[in-house]
Amino acid sequence: MKPYSIKGRTRLSHAFVVALSLSFLFYAAGVQSAAAHDVTPGDAGYIQEIWGVHIIPFIYLGAKHMVTGYDHILFLLGVVFFLYRMKDVAIYVSLFALGHSVTMLLGVWYGWGINAYIIDAIIGLSVVYKALDNLGAFQKVLGFQPNTKAATLIFGLFHGTGLASKILEYNISSDGLLANLLAFNVGVEIGQLLALFVILIVMGYWRKSPHFMRQATIANIIMVFLGVLLTYQQIAGYIASTS
């Protein structure tokens, strides 16, 4: 039974890496022309047409954005990739949530906006940064380890700015704005917790594999590639929009 169990876990872990790689690649290929913080036409129309306080709908929209936000999910995966203690997971995810919430709320409330292509290119670089950090590239190349907590908070600020920039494009009504923004942010955090729950379950099983470290290297190299791809798409989009 024991040899069979080990082989079974090995096959499962190999299958997971293949599925992870293919799903990320196909998903990235499917959104090449989309902005990372885009809002679906139906949701955009809803945001533009309503006024007053709508708590439940905005919670739903926030959760939907996080769950379907591939840039958020990739960065979140990178953040928790080598975090084994729930205390550490809670600290890093809270830092990301704090940064994300602050710039999203303040950005919309005060009308701060950055070109969506530029901010999304930076967000793509955040995925590259975290994957390289997981690979130990900074220690090997630079000879020191950057402060990972500070980096998580800072990139959280950029992620929130990206969302604020996109919301501002839809001229959300000022009537009930604060309540709706707070509801949206609550939804974002709910969506983040749901995504984190799935990631931690999958990672928990994957880490039991004796091949985890080797496969983890492959997975993070793929994440570097995807981050570069996201950044390239946004830079190309910016150039096309200004030409």
Instruction: Please report, in angstroms and rounded to a whole number, the separation of the first and last CA atoms in the chain.
Output: 65
Q: How confident is the model over 153-208, as pLDDT tens digits?
A: 999 999 888 888 877 777 777 787 888 889 989 998 999 999 999 999 999 988 98
List the chain domain ranges. 2-242
Residue 104 CA to residue 116 CA, distance in Å, equals: 13
Q: How confident is the model over 205-228, as pLDDT tens digits?
A: 889 889 999 899 999 999 999 999
Q: Whole-prediction pTM value?
A: 0.80
